[in-house]
Every structure is written in structure tokens, then in C-alpha cells.
Amino acid sequence: MNKIQVTQSSMPHFDDYVNEIKDLWDSKWLTNRGSKHQQLEKELIDYLNVSNISLYTNGHLGLENILDAFNLKGEVITTPFTFASTTHSIVRNGLKPVFCDINPLDYTIDVDKIESLITEDTCAIVPVHVYGNVCDVEKIEEIAKKHYLKVIYDAAHTFGVTVNGQGIGSFGDASMFSFHATKVFNTIEGGAVTFGDASLSSVLDQLKNFGITSPESIDYVGGNAKMNEFQAAMGICNLRYVDEEIAKRQKVVQRYRSNLEHEEGITLVKEQPGVKSNFAYFPVVFDHYKSTRDQIFEKLKEHDIIARKYFYPLINEFNCYKDDHDVKDTPVAKYIADRVLTLPLYADLSLADVDKICQIIKE
Ligand SMILES: *Cc1c(COP(=O)(O)O)cnc(C)c1O
């Protein structure tokens, strides 16, 4: 059996990509809002069902920029059960992360614990649609309205997800999507920010291009985070196949579920009502199972199957954060982080391999 990685990038047919980039050899326009960039922007507004979008060279810089664009000061409520990027983007903006615990059902922010963390310094909430599970967007909006807080979602995992038909990127003040190679939809590296207030467009354009507002004026201390034409071309190609890819992922997930859902000591996330999923990840929590998470991780590795302890360690256990934060403040996140494993999941993973993986777990 070949090595099975936790994920495998979706790629278009080679000829498809070559065709798509051919005209770049005529135009010699390789970045800075070229024609591919503009086309992908339009197609994504449509696909994601959002009103405004700004493309980025990666998702992380998109998140940094949108936090910057809102001119926030003070404390930001977020969760430690996520990828490093979420917290880093807050801290790199000079803001203070305040960690809220997650709920034990879908591992998104526990909305019943947000209000007790709000102080006069709180300016925003940065919740994460972790694993593609949708946060309680209604409750979060209610809290944000009541306390005049911005809501910026880390939607890195939720490409193409809808809630009662509404694009996930249309909730809150803004959302960040990642188009990294390992995500459901990729532009090799890449990302986007979606937002409701159209006037943010020009601010983001400037923040990601050195703060340049016109050839002779620079109004912001901006960085460089533009998506180039080769990335956009990859996106245009991958977007043609993404529905097919998601359908294949769904089959893989269904197979995992039928193999594991009746195992005592294994907890799977329930399907969320009204949510059209993208089947981004398949997290499994081993809770009083016959083997521990770490034993299963090692056992799979012996068979050349690479699962991932995602998310372990928690962000409030990172060396760069642990002095200022106490993991005891987020006990549910700690409990899940110590027991969760995301199993290999990608469109071309065969159902026979899924069965094999589950067999090894059950042994
Ligand atoms: C992938 C990811 C990011 C960062 O996205 P990049 O495109 O890799 O910069 C941020 N947050 C979460 C939760 C992610 O999984």
C-alpha cells in the first residue's frame, strides 16, 4: 500500500492549466490585478454568493489586512482551537487575543461564554468555522450588535459552505478564506477576504499593495499581499472541478461515518441542519476508546497512513503565547485537543483505503 497522507491537493488537468496560462505569454502581465485576477474575482463572488471580495497571495495576510482595515484597538475574542494563523493575525495587528472556550459539539466558539469575556477594551470577535463546521452565526451577530463589536470570521475551512442557502462569507463584517494547496479549493497558495461594506475594497487594495493609492501618493503603511496571475489561473481551473471534488469528498466522509459511527468511544461531529457542507476535514475524537488518540496516530503511521493531530497543541499552549495565557481557561478546547485526530481526506482517496484505515483503528 502506498503512503496515505492526511491530504492531497486537488489539481486541474495539466492541459487545462497550460491553456489557461498561455495568454500570459502574450500579455506579459503577471501580477497587479491582471485579467486572470479579475476573472477569478468575478467567478468567486458568484460561487461564494457574497457581495464583495478581495483576493490575496495567501489567506493569512488577508486576515491580517482586514483586521487592519477596521482600525481595531484593544482586545479580540477568539478561540485557541484553530491554526496558528488566526491568533497571529490578531497579535501582529497589535491587538490582544482573549481566548474563549469552544463548545463540545462542533468545536466552534462557545457562544454562551463570549459575553462574560467582553470588557470595555473589546473591539471584535474572530470566530473560526473550524473543520468547516459553521459557528452559531445568529447568536454571534446578536452579541456583536449589542456590544458594538466587529465580527471577522476565519472561514479558511468553509469554502463553498452555505447556511440555509446563504453563502458563509456573507455573515459578520468580513470573512477570510484560504486557498492554500491543502484546502478544499486551492490557488496553490492564496486566499480571499469577503465583506459587506463595499468601501473596504479600496482600503484592502492599498493595504496589500504598499499603501499605494495613486502613482504619487502613499496613504497607508501597507505590505505586499497580492495574488499573482498564475495563482489566479490555478483558481479558475480548480473552480471548474470544485463541485465534483466536494461530491467525491462527501462519499469518503459517508464511508468513514458508516465505518465508525457505531463505535463506542468514538465521537463524530453531527451534520449541522441547514448547512451545505464542503467535507473539508474528518475529525474523530477518541474519548474512553480502547486505544488513545496517540496510540492510534502511531499505529496508523506504522501502516504509512498519516493522520494529523489537528489542532494540537492548543494555541494557548504555544511557546509564544503560554506565558500570557492559561490553557485552564479553555477546558473543553484542551479536552478535545488531547483526543482529536483528523483522518486522511481528499477527493481521490479510495473507499477501500477508507475501510482499511478504519479497520486499523478498530483493531
Ligand atoms: C489554512 C488556514 C489559515 C491560513 O491560510 P493560508 O492561506 O495558509 O495563509 C488560517 N486559518 C485557518 C483555520 C487555516 O486552516
181 Cα–ligand 1 center, Å = 10
CA atoms within 13 A on the CB side of 362: 13
Q: What number does the ligand 1 atom closest to the CA of 191 have?
A: 7
State the residue range of the domain holding 322: 242-362
Asked whether residue 119 is assigned to any structural domain, the reply reads yes
Please give the distance of CA 139 from its chain centroid, rounded to a whole number.
20
Q: Which residue of 89, 133, 180 sits with most ligand 1 atoms within 8 Å of its CB, as the best mutation to test the pocket?
A: 180
Tens digit of pLDDT for each residue in 153-182? Answer: 999 999 999 999 999 999 999 999 999 999
Does the pLDDT value for residue 256 go beyond 90?
yes
Does the pLDDT value for residue 42 go beyond 60?
yes
42 Cα–ligand 1 center, Å = 22
224 lies in the same domain as 329 = no
Report the chain's C-alpha Rg in angstroms: 21
* Band of pLDDT at residue 111, cut at 50, 70 and 90: very high
pLDDT at residue number 2: 79
225 lies in the same domain as 249 = no
Asked whether residue 44 is assigned to any structural domain, the reply reads yes
Q: What number does the ligand 1 atom closest to the CA of 56 have?
A: 7
Asked whether residue 2 is assigned to any structural domain, the reply reads no
Asked whether residue 7 is assigned to any structural domain, the reply reads no
Asked whether residue 9 is assigned to any structural domain, the reply reads no
194 lies in the same domain as 279 = no
276 lies in the same domain as 137 = no
188 lies in the same domain as 271 = no
Helices (H) and strands (E) counted in the chain, each on its own, are 11, 15
Does the pLDDT value for residue 1 go beyond 70?
no
Least Cα distance to 163 among 200, 192, 138 occurs for 138
Residue range 190-208: mean pLDDT, rounded: 97
230 lies in the same domain as 87 = yes
Asked whether residue 63 is assigned to any structural domain, the reply reads yes
Tens digit of pLDDT for each residue in 287-324? Answer: 999 999 999 999 999 999 999 999 999 999 999 999 99
pLDDT at residue number 78: 98
* Average model confidence (pLDDT) across the chain: 97
Do residues 284 and 263 touch, judged by C-beta distance below 8 A?
Answer: no
Do residues 206 and 212 touch, judged by C-beta distance below 8 A?
Answer: yes
Residue range 111-137: mean pLDDT, rounded: 98
CA dist 164 and 153 (Å) reads 18
Do residues 66 and 301 touch, judged by C-beta distance below 8 A?
Answer: no
Tell me which residues have their CB closer than 6 angstroms to ligand 1. 58-60, 82-83, 85-86, 128, 154, 156-157, 178, 180, 191
Q: What is the CATH number of the domain that holds 191?
A: 3.40.640.10
195 lies in the same domain as 319 = no
More confident residue, 1 or 250: 250
Q: What is the CATH number of the domain that holds 294?
A: 3.90.1150.10
pLDDT at residue number 287: 96
| Angle subtended by helix axes 351-362 and 293-302, to nearest 10 | 130
263 Cα–ligand 1 center, Å = 31
131 lies in the same domain as 271 = no
35 lies in the same domain as 61 = yes
Do residues 55 and 40 touch, judged by C-beta distance below 8 A?
Answer: yes
98 lies in the same domain as 132 = yes
Do residues 69 and 200 touch, judged by C-beta distance below 8 A?
Answer: yes
Asked whether residue 4 is assigned to any structural domain, the reply reads no
Tens digit of pLDDT for each residue in 216-238? Answer: 999 999 999 999 999 999 999 99
Does the pLDDT value for residue 260 go beyond 90?
yes
Beta bridge partners of 195: 52, 174
Domain boundary among 206, 236, 266: 236
pLDDT at residue number 144: 98
Tens digit of pLDDT for each residue in 325-349? Answer: 999 999 999 999 999 999 999 999 9
pLDDT at residue number 312: 96
Q: What number does the ligand 1 atom closest to the CA of 60 have?
A: 9
Domain boundary among 215, 236, 257: 236
Does the pLDDT value for residue 81 go beyond 70?
yes
Tens digit of pLDDT for each residue in 7-23? Answer: 999 999 999 999 999 99
How many domains does one find in the chain?
2
232 lies in the same domain as 257 = no
pLDDT > 70 fraction of the chain, expressed in percent and rounded:
100
pLDDT at residue number 100: 98
Tens digit of pLDDT for each residue in 99-108? Answer: 999 999 999 9
> Which cell goes with 101?
472556550
CA dist 23 and 34 (Å) reads 11
Tens digit of pLDDT for each residue in 127-141? Answer: 999 999 999 999 999
- Residue having the nearest C-alpha atom to atom 7 of ligand 1: 59
Residues 6+ apart with CB under 8 A from 158: 129, 132, 134, 168, 169, 175, 177, 278, 280
Asked whether residue 5 is assigned to any structural domain, the reply reads no
Q: What number does the ligand 1 atom closest to the CA of 130 have?
A: 13
pLDDT > 90 fraction of the chain, expressed in percent and rounded:
99
> Which cell goes with 266?
468514538
Residue range 49-71: mean pLDDT, rounded: 98
Domain boundary among 221, 236, 251: 236
Q: What number does the ligand 1 atom closest to the CA of 190 have?
A: 7
Do residues 199 and 69 touch, judged by C-beta distance below 8 A?
Answer: no
271 CB-contact burial (10 Å; exposed 0-12 / middle 13-18 / buried 19+): exposed
273 lies in the same domain as 230 = no
